[in-house]
Amino acid sequence: MKEVSSVAMVSDSDFIANREEQREFMQKANINGKWALITGASRGIGRQISMGLADYGCNLVLHSRDLSHTDQLAEELRGKGIEVRQVSAELSDPEQVEAMLDSLLSAGPAIDIVYNNAAIQIGYHENWLNVPSEEIRISFEVNCTSLIRICNKLMPGMIERGWGRVVNVTSGVKDQPQLTAYAVSKAAVDKYVADTAAHLQPKGVLMNLMDPGWLRTDLGGPNAPGSVESVIPGALVPVLIDDGSAGVLFHAQDWAGKQL
């Protein structure tokens, strides 16, 4: 069996006991001038992440299903003095995903940071023993399969350059079989990170998970306890942290209302 780096998946509670200490002593990477791809950037959490990264001087590639969806955001971000590109793809369509990635690889820019934020939650099923198979298939295609395609296409460039960040958004949903398609597809993302992070860390590429919390977004709904703005600055931590952390689950709400 091939030997793997000793870096291990650790829970957020094991990562560090004192969040204030982590915040105070966190080593921050310089991402000024680097390029980040953010999926699902047009609204909600993706929009907040885009604005947050721009404040650190990070150039952005904004993904949405239609280029027009990110026009306004792109204009705002350029006002911050960064470069912005826009790409589109329906993540449930493998051909569109491949075309988007091929275009990025051929025309550039070279991607240093991947933030896989886009996801769908199709429905809530009281009769959870009868979730439609098609709903499960589409949920996996958008939430997991396209995510893996994006990572596997863009990580070789990071490895070659010796630096990269990959953040995959996960979910704290549990004990709700009514959300089987969504929850299980997110659990698959967790497993992907668990199996992959240790292979990337020695090459300078840090892959981690980020749970934004239950927020008032199109996906989270109007009854969620948290505002979408509360995802910042916590959602930036797995991009900025520079201490070799890999395979860690970061909870954005641990930093809500604080500064990095």
CATH for 194: 3.40.50.720
230 in any annotated domain: yes
Strand partners, 165: 113, 206
pLDDT given at position 226:
66
2 in any annotated domain: no
Residue 207 scores a pLDDT above 90: yes
186 in any annotated domain: yes
Give residue 187's Cα distance to chain centre. 14
| Structure confidence at residue 21 as a pLDDT band (50, 70, 90) | low
pLDDT digits (tens, 9 = 90+) for 211-238: 998 667 776 677 766 688 889 999 999 9
pLDDT given at position 7:
41
Average pLDDT over residues 144-150: 98
Q: pTM of the entire structure?
A: 0.88
Angle among Cα 191, 60, 190 to the nearest 5 degrees reads 5
Bigger pLDDT: 99 or 19? 99
- For the chain, the average pLDDT equals 89
Domain carrying residue 118: 28-254
| Structure confidence at residue 16 as a pLDDT band (50, 70, 90) | very low
pLDDT given at position 20:
52
17 in any annotated domain: no
- How many Å apart are CA 186 and CA 169, to the nearest integer? 8
Residue 1 scores a pLDDT above 70: no
pLDDT given at position 2:
32
pLDDT given at position 4:
31
194 in any annotated domain: yes
Bigger pLDDT: 123 or 202? 202
Bigger pLDDT: 148 or 7? 148
> Do residues 252 and 235 lie in contact, with contact meaning Cβ atoms separated by under 8 Å?
yes
| Structure confidence at residue 15 as a pLDDT band (50, 70, 90) | very low
Looking at the structure of the chain, the number of domains it has is 1
Residue 174 scores a pLDDT above 70: yes
User: For residue 233, how many other CB atoms are within 10 A of its CB?
Assistant: 19
CA-based torsion, 191, 194, 196, 197: positive or negative = positive
| Structure confidence at residue 127 as a pLDDT band (50, 70, 90) | confident
Residue 153 scores a pLDDT above 50: yes
* Percent of the chain whose pLDDT exceeds 70: 87
Q: Which of 55, 48, 59 is nearest to 109 (CA)?
A: 59
pLDDT given at position 123:
82
pLDDT given at position 125:
77
| Structure confidence at residue 24 as a pLDDT band (50, 70, 90) | low
9 in any annotated domain: no
